[in-house]
Amino acid sequence: MKQFFLGSVVAASLLMLSGCGDELQLTAAQVKNVDKMSVASDQTTLDVYCPTGICIFDLSSNIETNVVVTMHYNDDKTFSKIEGVSVTGRMGSTVKVLGENSFSMDLSADNDVSKIQVVDFYR
Q: What is the mean pLDDT of residues 72-97?
A: 92
- Say what the pTM is: 0.79
DSSP codes joined into one string, 42-88: TSSEEEEE-TTSEEEEEEEESS-EEEEEEEESSSS-B-S-EEEEEEE
Q: Check pLDDT > 60 for residue 12.
A: no
Digit-coded pLDDT (tens) for 23-36: 989 999 999 999 99
The pLDDT score that the predictor gives to residue 71 is 97
The pLDDT score that the predictor gives to residue 53 is 95
The pLDDT score that the predictor gives to residue 11 is 42
Mean pLDDT of the chain: 84
Sign of CA dihedral 68, 69, 72, 75: positive
Q: What is the mean pLDDT of residues 10-16?
A: 41
The pLDDT score that the predictor gives to residue 96 is 94
